[in-house]
Amino acid sequence: MKTPTWYDASEEVKELLLLATDNWENSSLSEQYINQALEKAGDNIDVLVGAYRFFFYKNKPKLALKIAKKVLTIIEERENLPLEWEELQPILMERQKEESIRLYLNAYASQGYILAKLGQIEAAKLITERVKTIDEHRESCATTVFEVLTKDPDDDDD
């Protein structure tokens, strides 16, 4: 089995990720492989992003949210990003084409989507509205999620 070269991870971690994919239909086995990959990869952003997406699609939103938040924290630390939105927003707008900032915005948008799925609507609205102000080309799910969350139920387009 040939492992992908696009992940910045060890061959062992790549192999575990492939095994998780190959065993997608067997959720408990694929989850074991993902957890092993996470354990061995540490703070590897590529693996963490893959893991929160995996758990999202496996309908485990709490795990997906936990890992997405970890991605945000790691990038905040690595890029020395401020925690206050008023300070953070202009930096994200200016640097949004940088890979690490794009990953940050995607993880933040995903966090909003997951919170909506968990029923935390106000928190989801706040996050998706924030990302929407930056993501003018609708590259993340944030604008769509925000629109769904704020749609007037009496406003019928049919």
Q: Rounded mean pLDDT of the chain?
A: 91
Q: Is the dihedral of CA 17, 23, 26, 29 positive or negative?
A: negative
> Percent of the chain having pLDDT more than 70?
94
Name the 3-class secondary structure at 90: helix
For the chain, counts of helices (H) and of strands (E): 8, 0
- The letter for the amino acid at 125 is K
| Under 8 Å between Cβ of 109 and 141 | yes
pLDDT at 46: 92
pTM, whole model, 2 decimals?
0.87
Question: For residues 68, 140, 118 and 18, what is the CA-based torsion angle, rounded to 10 degrees?
Answer: -50
Check pLDDT > 70 for residue 5: no
Whole-Å CA distances, 8 to 4, 77, 131: 10, 19, 27
| Under 8 Å between Cβ of 131 and 114 | no
